[in-house]
A and B are shown apart, each in its own frame.
Chain A
Amino acid sequence: MLQTTSEKSQGASPPAADRAYRKAIRHSARVRRLRVVLPLAAVTITLVFAAVSYMRSILPDEIQIESAQLEDGKLVMAKPAIAGRNSEGVPYSLRADRALQDMKNPNMITLKTISAALPVNDKVIARVEAESGIFDRVANRMELDKPFTLNMSSGIDAQFKSAKLDITAGTMETDQAVAIQTKGASIVANALNMKDKGKTMIFTGNVRLNVDPAALRSNRSTETAQP
C-alpha cells in the first residue's frame, strides 16, 4: 500500500527520513522535468514527422537523390534518378546531374545534364542525352529546351534542337530541325511529330530522305544471318 511520506519519516530514524525525503524531492523534480520534456519531445517528433512526410510528398516517391539542399526557395538535388513505368508497364528511367525544384511549384523539376531511357513502344526504347529539360511530374511530360540526341534501340540515331515529350503516351514533338539516321537511310526535316508510341511519324518542311537500298537490305541480311 502506498505509504504517505509523513508516516514513513516519523517511524524511521532521522537519516532514513532524510533519505526518503530527498528521494521524494528528486522524484517530483523528475516529474516536473518530464512534464515539460515529454510534451516537448512529442511536439518535436510530430514536427519532424510532418517535415519528412511533406518532403516525401513533394519528391516523387520513385526518386532517389544523393543529396538535397534548399537554396533561396529552390530544392537543389544532386544526381537525381527518377524511375517508373509507363501506361504499358514498360520501365522508364531518368537521371540528371542536378535537379532544381521551386517550392512554389513542386511538380515542375528542372533537370541539368539528363540521361533518360524512355519506352517508345513495347519493342523500342529511346535513350535521350540532353543538356537540360523541364520534367512535369504530374503530367509525366518532359520539355527538352536545349539540343539533345536520341538513340532508338532499333539502331536509329537522331539529333534535335528541342522537343516536347509525353512519356506516358510515348509521343514527341519538335518544331525545330531534326536529323535522323539509320543504317541505310537518313532523313532531315524542319519539324517532327511522333505519335502513337512511335508508330506514326510526321516530318514536315523541306523533308530530305536519302535511302541506300543495298545498305538497308544488308542491314536486314546481317540480322537474318545471325543465329
Chain B
Amino acid sequence: SAQSTSREMNGLKLSNDQPIQIESDQLEIRDAERKAYFTGNVKVVQGTTTLQAGTMTVLYQGQSGAVTEGNADIDKIDVDGKVFLSSGTQQATADKGRFDLVSQVFILEGDRVVLTEGQNVFVGCKLTVQMASGQAKLDSCGRRVQIQLDPKSQKQ
C-alpha cells in the first residue's frame, strides 16, 4: 500500500475490560436502534488513554432492551468532529474515528491525521491501530507521509 509508517503505540492498547469514564453534554440512548448518541464535548478516559470528540455514537450488541436490561456489550464506537486521542507520550488528531471492539481495531481518518510522539510528528490520512498490541500504522493515502523527526530523538 502507499507509504506508511508503523509505530508501536502501546499506550493505545485500549482494552475491553478496563473501566471507562465517558463525559458529554448529552446522551441519548435509543434502545430500539441499540445505539447511544453522546453529543457535545465528548470525553472518554480509559486508563492512560483519553479520547475527545464532538460526538460519539456507540453501537451495542444484545437484543433490543439490552440497555434497560443492563446487559449491553459495545460493538462499535464512531467518533466525529475534531477527534483527539492521547495516551502517554503519543497523541493523534483526526476528523473522525471508528473503534471496532469486535475486531479490536481502531481507525482515525481525516484530511490530516497528525500523530505526535514526544517531539516527532507524523502526518498522514489514516491511522490504524491494533488495540490488542498497540501496533499502529499511518497511511499517507498517496501523498508522502510527512515525517518530522526531532533530531534530539535520533541521538537516543
Binding site for B on A (CB under 8 A): 120-121, 123-124, 152, 154-156, 182-185, 187, 189, 196, 198-214, 216-217, 219-220, 223
What is the bound-complex CA distance between A82 and B19, given in angstroms? Answer: 43
A interface footprint on B65-95 (CB within 8 Å = 1, 0 otherwise): 1011111111000000000000000000000
**Residue numbers in A under 8 Å from B132 (CB-CB):** none
Given contacts A121-B65, A201-B29, is CB(A219)–CB(B19) below 8 Å?
no
- Does B74 lie within 8 Å of A213, measured CB to CB? yes
Give, as a whole number of angstroms, the nearest-CB distance from B14 to chain A.
Answer: 11
Whether B48 is near chain A, meaning CB under 8 Å from some CB there, is: no
Give, as a whole number of angstroms, the nearest-CB distance from A7 to chain B.
Answer: 94
**Residue numbers in B under 8 Å from A208 (CB-CB):** 21-23
The interface size bin for chain B is 20 to 34
Binding site for A on B (CB under 8 A): 16-32, 38, 62, 64-65, 67-74
**Residue numbers in A under 8 Å from B28 (CB-CB):** 200-203
B21, B25, B67, B73: the one within 8 Å of A220 (CB)? B73
- Does B68 lie within 8 Å of A120, measured CB to CB? yes
What is the bound-complex CA distance between A214 and B30, given in angstroms? Answer: 23
Give, as a whole number of angstroms, the nearest-CB distance from B116 to chain A.
Answer: 28
What is the bound-complex CA distance between A105 and B65, given in angstroms? Answer: 39
- Does A219 lie within 8 Å of B71, measured CB to CB? yes
Give, as a whole number of angstroms, the nearest-CB distance from A189 to chain B.
Answer: 7
